[in-house]
Structure 1
């Protein structure tokens, strides 16, 4: 396992796109098992035994898990008929082998983001590739599912599979990787055995300087009135009897396994999903939050778990995605004040260090990490 490390915009995803034939390179060579290759499409890379799990999921939501796993290589009865029964059986077998508790006959639309991520991982593994590229495979799954993935990785490497592993989580890198490679600002800056570098040294290589250790002291809120209270939240079959309190300047972490109701609770609190019961208080005053517009009006923003499906308008510009939730702020007498909006966009791009050649570029042209910064900029 070779861990490919680097900050947002370092060039990791672009480099992997070149390896997979999704992007054309300007120079250099790629060899697979000693033979030079020049892939012009992902299909050629797949045929050569290289598979990739990208950080941006692209499942077919109205197909089943089994149909997604074998898309483009469906098992058949004779020449013309797809063998659904055989595909379902094989899908159940590989999911059981990987210990992923996901029904093979379920439609992707009915699964959580974390489960969809595990399906993508299973799809790549099911190809029995010699080389497996994992680009942020744990970004949408919890610790328990991550450990299941690491067990699967150990099984694969024991069978002779080589893995390129991309992650911003250094704990994962030191747990699963044998070697590391570091990119910074589109350049190779170093690499070697993971056993020959420590956490501080790897961080220094990634960011180009030493970072200070920040120790968070517990905050004493004392008699301070809570900023936000959720009381008695319930939604049948999803969560029940949820109470939560958040004070000004405080960070509250919500923990739970896959399917425990964390995302469903947050979406119900924000007004994205209905709830059966529950009361919201802001600074001690009850407030009725039935829609996201109500929440935005009350000063609440939501960073969704899936920026591609629900967090961004991918074909719209970076600028539009930053200001879209607060357009009245940039309007005068019903007309947009373009210069005020432009100044705000430039300010937020600088504040969040968003790497983009222009605010007018479509946000889908940015790297995944920079897209996430755009989501945060919009919320702010």
Structure 2
């Protein structure tokens, strides 16, 4: 998350081609705006929604709802202006604001960081806009606060073209590559305008969804050691892996040698640290920025991760995800998880467990456990990187 940057989701359009209120159209069982919000929220310090009409229809989203400052549906630039003016009043410490169309559910996880870097490198520009497939996305951009005056002037003159506005502001374009949709290339700024677009997005959500697998067990059972071995083996076979490290206690700092650092050293591209009151994403040695959110839903944490083939969750015994149970002599008190949790599909143990409900592997049989994991989530059982 970039410091001093806030965001606005633009949902102020009429959405005629989808029958109105496009932001609330269901995609994979959730409103379209929910998908975009969960992508953008971890990247900014504060997020608001620009929408016209009754704001109560978005109350479930838990975001401030800001309407256009004119009632004539002046287009997305009016939403950008409303957001800039709102933050000027309510959060004058905000140094830049990113705007994203609410109907763009696949925006990159590094969108804000890359736009911020581009704007910093071009001090004369007052906006940095995203570009994909050689096309600029004029209202998916990072705006300096002083752009508000020029936008207001243009709108007052009846000029609504966002392209004209960003050119006037000296826009710098930031190119983004396609992302992987289960073997098919996808535009990260694909937006939903028609029923055909919605059908494509449904398919893309299903294909882009990572396989989530848990490693669970009682205290001192060796969960972290097994996660590290599984990450290393999956990476060796050419899979992209991220992890979620859950702690029942608060974490003061992230240092070399901690469990989550071991995840990264094994090859995890990202680690999400989740505690009872907050969570954070760790992508490298950068300083961690925590998000205050009690009992963050696993689904939202996973959604904030960059695209991965497999996400391994350490802990969260009660999560409704496929799990490998770790069972060792000398572990903390607690009965076998496999006997009462139907999600457990394998046990890794240092004991001879006869009559178990699920296959039992030696705790050191990383190859066999990896094969079992891949078979469970439907990925190829390849032995080397492809």
**TM-score tier after normalising by the smaller chain length:** under 0.3
Q: 1 or 2, which has the higher helix percentage?
A: 1
What TM-score do you get using the length of structure 2 for normalisation?
A: 0.27
Query: 1 or 2 for the larger relative contact order (CA 8 Å, sep ≥6)?
Result: 1
